[in-house]
Amino acid sequence: MSTGLILAKIARIKDVMEGCEMKHGKKLVLPLVIIFLLLSLIGGVSPADASSPIATVNKASGVATIVRQGQTIPVAIGLQIWEKDTIRTGRDGSIGVVFSDDTFLSLGPESVLVIDEFVFAPKQGKFSIVIRMLKGTAAYLSGIISKLAPESAHFKTPTASVGIRGTKFVAKVEGD
């Protein structure tokens, strides 16, 4: 939620309060409402880029989580993924996600991977997919970004950058 939206919400509640018959309760309720709104802002897990989700979980098994702005979210089929998310799997975990350009990405157990960038806006000619793998095993099947702008698709490991041109590959990274 943006600050502007919260201020607008506070203003509206104030208006409501002013129209309210009860005078005693008014002095206590408004500060409590403001505190509540501020707490819900702080406690929220809204993504850093509030535009739109970029991928959806299609398969999941065992322990798999998304880490978003310091918050850990357990994975379920249908869960939406946002830019900057970290995907992690446990000892018996695995996960498969579909991006909005039909790129398929899956992880095996004990894996960690970060989605640094994802932009798919064909009508504006904007394309980018940058994935950074820190450890584990992954399988990647390229989507429409690789068809329309192959130079903008990058898969990074700690040692190397993999340029992708319309392809399917698997990667294993021995991290810490």
Partner 1 sequence: MKLWSTFLAVWIFLCLLTACGAHRPKRDLIVLLPDPDGKVGVVTVITNGGSQTLDKPGVATEVQDLSKPPMAPKPIGENEITNVFGPALIAQPDPAGRFISFLLYFEHDSAKLTNESKKMFPEILMTIKDRKSNEVYVVGHTDLVGTETYNIGLSSTRANHVRDFLVSSGIKPGILVVSFYGKTRPLVPTENEVPEPRNRRVEVIVR
The nearest distance, CB 67 to partner 1, in angstroms, is: 18
The nearest distance, CB 128 to partner 1, in angstroms, is: 16
Two tokens, residue 31 = 């500060």
**Residue 64 burial by CB count (10 A; 0-12/13-18/19+): exposed, middle or buried?**
buried
Residue with Cβ nearer partner 1 (18 or 174): 174
Q: How many Cβ atoms from other residues are within 10 Å of residue 83's Cβ?
A: 19
Number of C-alpha atoms within 13 angstroms, CB side, residue 23? 0
Task: Give residues in contact with partner 1 (CB under 8 A).
Answer: 58-61, 94-98, 102, 104, 106-109, 111, 122-123, 125, 137-139, 141-144, 146-148, 150, 157-175
Can you tell me whether residue 159 is helix, strand or coil? coil
Residue with Cβ nearer partner 1 (23 or 91): 91
Side chain identity, residue 67: V
The nearest distance, CB 111 to partner 1, in angstroms, is: 8
**Residue 145 burial by CB count (10 A; 0-12/13-18/19+): exposed, middle or buried?**
buried
Q: Identify the CA nearest to 110 among candidates 170, 62, 78.
A: 62
Q: Identify the CA nearest to 166 among candidates 138, 140, 147, 139.
A: 147
Residue with Cβ nearer partner 1 (71 or 167): 167
The nearest distance, CB 83 to partner 1, in angstroms, is: 19
Residue with Cβ nearer partner 1 (47 or 100): 100
Residue with Cβ nearer partner 1 (44 or 122): 122
